[in-house]
Amino acid sequence: MNENLPKNSKPLIYYTLIAMVIITLLNALVFPLLLERPVIEVSYSDFLDMLEQGSITNVNMQEAQIVFEAAEKDGALQIYKTGIWPDENLLDRLREAKVTFSNAIPTQNSPLLNFLISWIFPILFFLFIGRLLMNSLSKRMGGNMMSFGKSGAKVYVPAQTGKTFADVAGQDEAKEALAEIVDFLHNPAKYAAIGAIMPKGALLVGPPGTGKTLLAKAVAGEANVPFFSISGSEFVEMFVGMGAAKVRDLFKQAYDKAPCIVFIDEIDTIGKKRDGISSISGNDEREQTLNQLLSEMDGFDGRKGVVILGATNRPETLDKALLRPGRFDRRIPVELPDLKGREDTLKVHAKSIQAAKDVDYLAIAKATPGASGAELANILNEAALRAVRMGRDIVNQNDLEESVEVILAGYQRKNAVLTPNEKKIVAYHEIGHALVAARQSSAAPVHKITIIPRTSGALGYILQMDDSESDRVLLTKEEVISKITTATGGRAAEMLVFGTATTGAANDIEQATKLARAMISRYGMSDQFGMVALEAVTNQYLGGDASLICSPETASKIDGEVVELVGRCLKSAEELLKQNTQKLRELAEFLYEKETLTGEEFMRMLAR
């Protein structure tokens, strides 16, 4: 079969068929009425009368009828017809009335015009409509169907990316690795002279929102070269064979503009590992696109100054062929920002908003471990929006703190109805967490506790803040256990005070289970298994799902140990709370009244 036949040719055929049927119907039914002027049928005697009156100008004898033209009173011409009558005198009468007569059809248009009107115009009309439809269709699908084979890459002239490394906070290692590429683009001749070949491509890998696109733009901005940007998903389109054509076109455009940067976002969508199954499931399209990309990368002259930057957050799924020397052989990690990186990111974005002089960005950075650059930018914007809502023209610390909570937990649900009893349970639950955390020396201090329901569904939560100067990278076994214990503190408090469990602990349970499982299967912290990897992380940048790599028997043993470990932690949380029942009640009642407790208030009451 022809590989290049559009996959969607079926709808096209249907469309053509329907158009043909409509045109034929128009020709048979509608056009005759439009083209021929209405004809009035009269009796033969009326015809003779009109002939005598001299109003008839033109008579046309046809096989079974006489068609004639007569002037109306107002001078307009009207066509009539009448049946044939055996009338020998007709010829004389006509001569007498001095009308022109013939047997040609008076109303007939030229055959060419008829053909144009009945066939060419409708076809043009349908082509026009079809094009309109296709355009709106392809616009909705994000591609451009009519420009088959065009890459559709957005081209930015140098000034338009407008980004430099100064716009990228933190990520110093990545910037360093990219600085060489910038230098190369500035001066390819220098590298050519010494015979050095620059890497053709570099792969930016890291979680979403960490600034991979931003870095690529900054490279183009720093080197002052054009920036081509396309997303991997744009290659895999509605028509088979189009992806490969797009790749070809993209590289052709890039050559013309060299030196330049070609940025391919989400490269994993085309660069996925090729396997035997894919050809059955109809993935040849992706494979063809990938092959085209590989051959383009192999084919082009590295000294020309075209640098391809790819970005992905699923590096483990990439086809090995993409990572071979001469292709994306440099791998540049773009990680989530650490404390300093978060502070810097906030400050970079704070330049574009009106913020109070005394805003403490470090405090915000401390409250947002694990947040990506994109989330931090979002927090600042959310704070600015809040300031406007409050009728202020400057963003203050409060706006920022509230916006951290909005980003982390959703908006306050002002109209959420909690019965007083539910509210009490939530208060005890949250204090349970906080108390258990505070009573285990190694647990992070509490920053804020609230029981104001959030749109995310959280009924209350604790903002924990790490006070150490940088993010914790290493956790000891004891610290992991105390984390699990803290997670079980909410349920423990509910059980202790109300004697029953509620559904509110679902998140805690998930968190505790995850940690316990990781301890056993990945961190080598169980006595039974020791330092044996029992799980492999499948996508480290997207939530870090893990899959078991052990026998089913071992898997069930792991399950057993997880149950046992979490159970033990719950026991010790209950133990801790039992010893502090008085404090638990005091704090929970206080929180119930006030709905929000700061870290200091909490510690003060605890110390009393």
Residue type, 535: E
Pairwise CA distance, residues 35 & 311, whole Å? 63
Pairwise CA distance, residues 375 & 369, whole Å? 11
User: Quick check: 296 binds Zn ion (CB under 5 A)?
Assistant: no
Contact yes or no for 300/266 (Cβ under 8 A) = no
Q: Which of 289, 482 has the CB closer to Zn ion? A: 482
Pairwise CA distance, residues 313 & 266, whole Å? 7
User: Quick check: 26 binds ligand ADP (CB under 6 A)?
Assistant: no
ω into 259 cis (within 30 of 0): yes
| Binding partner of 508, given ligand ADP, Zn ion, none, CB within 5-8 angstroms per partner class | Zn ion
Task: Provide the minimum distance between the beta carbon of 360 and ligand ADP in the complex, in angstroms, as a whole number.
Answer: 19
State the number of binding residues for ligand ADP (CB under 6 A): 17
Q: Which residues contact 367 (CB under 8 A, 6 or more apart)?
A: 401, 404, 447, 463, 465
User: Quick check: 373 binds ligand ADP (CB under 6 A)?
Assistant: yes
Question: Virtual CA dihedral for 133, 137, 142, 143, nearest 10 degrees?
Answer: -60
User: Quick check: 213 binds ligand ADP (CB under 6 A)?
Assistant: yes
User: Quick check: 494 binds Zn ion (CB under 5 A)?
Assistant: no
Residue type, 529: F
User: Quick check: 508 binds Zn ion (CB under 5 A)?
Assistant: yes
Q: Which residues contact 577 (CB under 8 A, 6 or more apart)?
A: 432, 435, 436, 489, 492, 493, 496, 584
The binder of ligand ADP chosen from 118, 161, 171, 450 (CB under 6 A): 171
Choose one: 52-60, 135-143, 486-494, 529-537; the region binding Zn ion (CB under 5 A): 486-494
Residue type, 68: F
| Binding partner of 537, given ligand ADP, Zn ion, none, CB within 5-8 angstroms per partner class | none
| Binding partner of 377, given Zn ion, ligand ADP, none, CB within 5-8 angstroms per partner class | ligand ADP
Contact yes or no for 566/344 (Cβ under 8 A) = no
Task: Provide the minimum distance between the beta carbon of 417 and ligand ADP in the complex, in angstroms, as a whole number.
Answer: 37
The binder of ligand ADP chosen from 56, 67, 90, 168 (CB under 6 A): 168
| Binding partner of 453, given Zn ion, ligand ADP, none, CB within 5-8 angstroms per partner class | none
Q: Is 510 a catalytic residue?
A: no
Q: Which of 345, 368 has the CB closer to ligand ADP? A: 345
Q: Which of 243, 490 has the CB closer to Zn ion? A: 490
Looking up tokens 């019965």, which residue turns up? Answer: 419
Choose one: 95-103, 212-220, 427-435, 485-493; the region binding ligand ADP (CB under 6 A): 212-220
Task: Provide the minimum distance between the beta carbon of 492 and Zn ion in the complex, in angstroms, as a whole number.
Answer: 10
Task: Provide the minimum distance between the beta carbon of 585 and Zn ion in the complex, in angstroms, as a whole number.
Answer: 18
User: Quick check: 319 binds Zn ion (CB under 5 A)?
Assistant: no
Q: Which of 67, 332 has the CB closer to ligand ADP? A: 332
Pairwise CA distance, residues 167 & 173, whole Å? 15
Q: What are phi and psi of 73, to 5 degrees?
A: -65, -35
Q: Which of 151, 171 has the CB closer to ligand ADP? A: 171
Task: Provide the minimum distance between the beta carbon of 171 and ligand ADP in the complex, in angstroms, as a whole number.
Answer: 5
Pairwise CA distance, residues 307 & 261, whole Å? 5
Looking up tokens 């089913």, which residue turns up? Answer: 552
H helix and E strand count, the chain = 24, 16
Q: Three-state SS for 155? A: strand
Q: Which of 342, 439 has the CB closer to ligand ADP? A: 342
Q: Three-state SS for 229? A: strand
Choose one: 15-23, 167-175, 248-256, 551-559; the region binding ligand ADP (CB under 6 A): 167-175
Choose one: 117-125, 166-174, 273-281, 543-551; the region binding ligand ADP (CB under 6 A): 166-174
Instruction: Build a one-symbol-per-residue string for 117-156: x at contacts with ligand ADP by CB under 6 A, - elsewhere.
Output: ----------------------------------------
Pairwise CA distance, residues 71 & 18, whole Å? 43
Enter the DSSP assignment of 171. Answer: -
The binder of ligand ADP chosen from 254, 377, 404, 444 (CB under 6 A): 377
Pairwise CA distance, residues 400 & 380, whole Å? 7
Contacts with ligand ADP in 294-353 (CB under 6 A)? 311, 345, 348
Closest residue to bound ligand ADP by CB: 373
Q: Which of 377, 438 has the CB closer to ligand ADP? A: 377
Question: 199, 222, 397, 395: which is closest to 310 by C-alpha?
Answer: 199
Q: Which of the following is catalytic: 375, 430, 494, 535? A: 430
Pairwise CA distance, residues 175 & 99, whole Å? 96
Helix (H) or strand (E) holding 126: helix 121-140
Question: 543, 550, 548, 540: which is closest to 317 by C-alpha?
Answer: 540
SS (H, E, C) 67-134: EEEEECCCCCEEEEEEECCCCCCHHHHHHHHCCEEECCCCCCCCHHHHHHHHHHHHHHHHHHHHHHHH
The binder of ligand ADP chosen from 50, 51, 67, 170 (CB under 6 A): 170
State the number of binding residues for Zn ion (CB under 5 A): 2
Looking up tokens 């020998």, which residue turns up? Answer: 88
User: Quick check: 211 binds ligand ADP (CB under 6 A)?
Assistant: yes
User: Quick check: 453 binds Zn ion (CB under 5 A)?
Assistant: no
Contacts with Zn ion in 55-84 (CB under 5 A)? none
Choose one: 48-56, 369-377, 381-389, 453-461; the region binding ligand ADP (CB under 6 A): 369-377
The binder of Zn ion chosen from 490, 572, 591, 602 (CB under 5 A): 490
b/e for 212-248, b at 16 or more Cβ within 10 A?
bbbbbbbbbbbbebbbbbbbbebbbbebbbbbbbbbb
Closest residue to bound Zn ion by CB: 490
Binding site for ligand ADP (CB under 6 A): 168-171, 208-214, 311, 345, 348, 373-374, 377
The residues assigned a catalytic role are 430
Binding site for Zn ion (CB under 5 A): 490, 508
